[in-house]
Amino acid sequence: MESLIVLRDIKKYYKVGNEVVKALNGISLSIKRNEYLAIMGASGSGKSTLMNILGCLDTPSDGEYFLNNYKVSDMADNELAEIRNKEIGFVFQSFNLLPRSSTLENVMLPLIYAGIKKEKRIETATHFLKSVGLSERMKHKPNELSGGQKQRVAIARALVNNPSIILADEPTGNLDSKISLEIMALLNKIHQDGNTVILVTHEDEIARFAHRIIRLKDGEIESDTINSNVVNPEIISV
């Protein structure tokens, strides 16, 4: 199967005062289409830095990054913004919804950046809100939604441009156990529908739903294993 992501000896250095901090120290990694993997690591392991590079939110200090055959590691900021909107759907722990916009307007936002006409934006956003079970909440503002509903809106927004990757950063961090399972069941369905899902988490309880688990330590890959005991979130009761 063709690789969707290829990282070759990715390094990221930060200068803090007179010291140079090596956040990533030579990461080489290949991710195939329709993989479902979790990236894990303690604080300071490089997990967040790697997520930012994978999501084209940051660029490496050295090394090569290919995403869907685009060499993104040496792109300019405006090119990276275009790639982010086209290729990556983000799901964040804090939801990142616009507080004064309706659910429908929040989901339509990536389509506005993509230059899609209003009628098509409404049609597409409505479809994805229905797909996450929020067809009756389209006019609601974020402060009128529960935490689980907000995350469903964020997932619909992530899917609306038909991206190559769904990048979920601690997607259940602000949710209780029951709602967390509902969100993981939804991500599981997204994977089954053919999407590549990259889950960034520090929780073993969440990583167990992924099919491949990569653990980072001190800016390097400590282990890269196939999860032989994948858990289906739909069969767990709380």
Q: Tens digits of per-residue pLDDT, 92-139? A: 888 889 999 999 999 999 998 888 999 999 999 999 999 999 989 999
The pTM of this model reads: 0.90
Share of the chain above pLDDT 70, in %: 98
> Where are the domains positioned within the chain?
35-56+77-235
Rounded (5°) CA angle 226-229-233: 115
In this prediction, residue 93 carries a pLDDT of 85
Could you tell me the pLDDT band of residue 235, with boundaries at 50, 70 and 90?
low
Domain 35-56+77-235 has CATH 3.20.20.80: no
In this prediction, residue 188 carries a pLDDT of 93
In this prediction, residue 237 carries a pLDDT of 52
Could you tell me the pLDDT band of residue 20, with boundaries at 50, 70 and 90?
confident
Q: 41 CB contacts (<8 Å, ≥6 apart)?
A: 47, 202, 215, 216, 217, 222
In this prediction, residue 74 carries a pLDDT of 87
CB atoms within 10 A of CB 193: 10
**Cβ contact 8:63 at 8 Å:** yes
